[in-house]
Amino acid sequence: MSELKLEDIHYHNINEFSDDFDVKDIHEDLNVCDRCNTIVMWDSEMYWQGECEETFHNCMADYEAVCDDCFHTLKEENDG
C-alpha cells in the first residue's frame, strides 16, 4: 500500500481505514467527527463543546466535537 496523503483521507469516513489507523500520522490538525466519523481539520472544520457557559452548544448534546455539517444539522433539528 502506498503512503497516504492528506487528500487521500480528508473528508473520508474513518471507518474506511483499519482500526489502528491514526489520522494524526497523516496531519496533526486532523480529527474525526463524533457524529458522522468524517475526517476533517479540527481547527477550522469542527465545532467543539465548550467547558463554560459561553461556549456550550446545547444542540451538540453529548458530542464533544462535530464537523461543520453535523453541527448545522443538529442546530436545525434543535431549533425546530
50-77 per-position pLDDT tens digit = 867 777 888 998 999 999 999 999 999 9
Query: Which amino acid would we find at residue 80?
Result: G
Residue 1 lies in a domain: no
Counting the structural domains of the chain, the total is 1
Give per-residue pLDDT as tens, 13-41: 999 999 999 999 999 999 999 999 999 99
Residue among 22, 40, 24, 44 nearest 32 (CA): 40
Per-residue cell: 59: 444542540
Q: Quick check: is 68 in a domain?
A: yes
How many C-beta atoms surround the C-beta of residue 72 within 10 A?
Answer: 13
| Residue 62 belongs to domain spanning | 6-79
pTM of the model: 0.89
Closest CA to 11 of 54, 42, 35, 40: 40
